[in-house]
Structure 1
Amino acid sequence: MQKQTHSQDVVLIGGGHGHLELLRRWARQPVRGARLTLVSPQAQSGYSPMVPGMIAGHYAHADIHIDLPRLCRAAGARFVQACAHHIDPQAKRVSLLGQPDLSFDYLSLAVGASPCYRIPGSELAIPIKPIGQFYRYWEQLREQVYRKHQPLKLGIIGGGAGGCELAMALSSALEEPVYSGRVEIHLLQSGKKTPADYPLLARRLAAREMARLNVKHHPHWRVAEITARGVYSDEGQFLALDRALLCTESSAPPWLSQSGLAVDEAGFVQVDDYLRSCSHPHIFAVGDVASAPGDRPKSATESRNQGATLFENLCATLQTQRLQPYRPRRQWQRLLSCGGTHAIAAWGGIAAVGPALWRLKDYLDRRYINQFHQLPVPTSRVTESEFATASAPDQHGEKIPSAVD
C-alpha cells in the first residue's frame, strides 16, 4: 500500500457542539487530501440540552455524553487530549499544555466559554461549566445531603433559561421523601423576565412550575458580592446561602485575545458572515466563543446550526469553492425542561406545559445524540504502513497521537 499524504492540516480546538456537528458530517462525507485533528482537554463532550435531565435523574452520565476519540475514529480524524493556550496565526501554530505544538493550514475554534468571575467573591461559587466538573460536585453534594441530614440552602445566580432549568432540576432531584424538604433552592436574577428570551405566557408557566417545585425566585436581585455565608445584592440586601452556583453569562478564554485575533469588547473572536475570523480568514470560530454580526443568541441549537455551515465552508475552502454565509434559523419551537417529566414549549407568543412536551423534548434530544452513538467506526486492523502514516511526525518532527493510537 502506498503511503497516504496529507496536503492540508485542519486543527479543531475544543469539543463544542459546532465541532461535534462538523465531525459527524465529516464522517459521512470526508474531503480527500485533508487531515483533521481535534484537540480537547476532555475525552467526552456533554450535550447541554440534556444536562438538566441528567441532574434530575432522567439520564445517566453516559446517555448525554459523546465519546470524542470514538467520534474522531468514525470521522478518520486524530484526537489529542490536551489544553490549547496560545495561537500564532502568522506561523499557523497552536501551543498545547504538556504537548508539542501543532501546525495547521486551517484552524477552527469551538472551545466554549469560561465561567464569568466578574462578581466579587465568584471564586467561592460553583460554576455550572464545565459540565463534567459540575456533575461530580453535584453527586458529592447530593450524597452529603442524604448522609448528614442537615438543611442546605443553594442559590443559583442567573435567571436565563439555563438557570431556570437548573433550579427546577435540582429541586426535582431533591424532592424525594428521603431529603425531607431540607433543601432550599433560590434563583437570583438581575432582571424581572424569567427566562428572559421567552414569551410572556411561557414565562408565566415557568413561574408556576418553579412555584410547584418550591423554587424561591428573587427577581431584580443583582448579586454584588458572594461570601462564604451568602450573597449581597447591589442594594445591600443579604441572602444566607450554603453554596452559590454560577449560571451567569460566560466569558471568553483570556488566551484568545492574547493570540492576535480580532476580538470584541468581551474577548470573543469576531467572525464574518462565513464564520471566519475577521482578522485571519484561515481561522474559523463557532459557538459561544464566536462573536458574529448581529444580535444572535448563543445556545446549543445555534452552535449546531453553525457547525453545519462550518462543515460546508471548511469543505469549500479546502476545495477552493465558493463559501456560503451563515443564516441563523428561526426557532419555531423552544422547549424548556421543568425538572420532572414536564416541559414548556413556546411557539412565538403561544406556550404550553405538560408531560407530552417533555416526551417530545426527550425524543428529540435522544434522536440527536444517538446519531453520534450510531456512527460506524472502522474495525479493520491497521497495517504497519497505515499505522506509520497515522503516527508519523508532522512537518516539524512532532509525533502526534492519532485516531488509531
Structure 2
Amino acid sequence: MDGDNSGDASDVTPYATAMTRQAHSGGITPGLTAMFSLACGLLVANTYYTQALIGEIAPALGLHGGVAGLVVTSIQLGYGAGLFFVVSLADRVENKRLILLLTSGACMGQFGTWMAGGPASFLLFSFMTGFCSVGAQIMVPLAAHLAPDQSRGRVVGNIMGGLITGIMLARPVANGLAAVAGWRAIFGLSAIMMAVLAVVLARIVPERRPKPGLRYGQLLLSGLSMLASTPAIRRRTAYQALLFASFNLFWTAIPLLLASRFGLGQGGIALFALAGAGGALAAPVAGRLGDRGHVRVGTAVALASATIAFLIAGWAAVAHALIVLGAAAVLLDAATQMNQVLGQRILFSIAPDARGRINAVYMTVVFLAGALGSTLATLSFDQGGWTATASVGAGLVATAFLLFLTERNAAAA
C-alpha cells in the first residue's frame, strides 16, 4: 500500500509508511493515535456547526417557526441513521475502505451544504453529512483492534479526547467564523478539511479485513441481540445514555441561561463553551485508569462527579457566580468523558470480532438519549427555568449512579 509510494518526495510518506508498518505489526504508534484523534474530532464536529448557527441559517433559507429546527434535526437524523446502519459494517467490510468512503461522503455533504441554494438541498446535504460523519465511530473500534490489550484504554482515551474536543470547539469556531465571513463559511472550510483528511487517512490508516461472517441483516440483528443478552453491554450503555442525556441537556440550555441571567452575547457564550472543552483532558486519564483495572472506581467517581456538577451549576446560577458555573461545566464534561472511555474499555474487550456491532448499538442508544436530553432541556427551561433544568440533569445522573450501585459483578461494571 504505502510502500508503493516510498519514492515520493512528499515529507509525509516515509512517516506515514512507518506508522502503517507498526500498526500492521500489532501496535499503534503515537502518531497514528494522534491522527485518529484529530480525524474523529473533525468528523464529529460536522454535526454541531448548525447548532451554533441555526439563528442565521433558518431565516436565510426561509425556514421559520417550528420548521426552523429542521436545520439541526436533519444532520442529527443522518448521524443517528449512520450509527445504526453503517457502524456495524466495521465487522464485515475492510475498515480503511469504509473510513475513506465515509470521509469522502462527508466532504461532499459539506460542499453541498455550503453551496445549497434552498432549504430542500440544504437539508438533504446536511443529512448526508451526518450519515457519513459516523466514520469517527469506525475509527474508534479500529484503534482498539490495533492497540495491545495493556494499552487499549489509553489509546481509546486519547482518541476520545480528540473527539470531545471537536464537539466542544465546533460551536465557538462556527460562531467566530460566521461573524467574519458569514454562516456558509464554516461548511466550505469543513469540506476542504474533509478532503485533506481523506488524503491523509488514505496514506496512514492500515487495512483491516474482518473475517467473512454474518450478512448485513444478520449483523444488525446480532448487535441488538448482544445488547439484550450481555449484562455488561446493557449496563455500560445505560450508564452512558443517562449521562449523555444530562450532558446534552446542560449544553442545550446553558446558552439560554448565559444570555438571560448573565447577559452574555454570542462571543461570551462561545468563550464559555471553549472553557468547557477543558473536560476533554479527562479522557486520556480515564483510559489509563481502565488499563490499570480501576474501571469500577472510575465509574463511581464519574457518576458522582456529574451529579455534583449539576448541584453546583444550580447554585451558581442563583448566586450569579459565572466562574463557578464554568467549573461545573468542566466537571460535567470530564465526568462524561471518563465514563465513556471506561465503558468502551469494557465493551471493546468483550468480543474482538464484534466491536463494530457493539459500538453501533451502544452509540445509537447513547445518541438517542442525547437527543432526548436536548428536548428535555428546552421543556424544563421553559417551564421552570435553570433550576428545573439542573434538577432534571441531576436526577438523570443520580439514576445512573443508583443503577451502578446495583451492579454486583465488579468485572462487568
Name the one with the larger strand percent. 1
Q: RCO greater where, 1 or 2, for CA within 8 Å and sep 6 or more? A: 2
Name the one with the larger helix percent. 2
Q: TM-score, normalised on structure 1?
A: 0.25
Q: TM-score, normalised on structure 2?
A: 0.25
> Which of structures 1 and 2 has the bigger CA Rg?
1
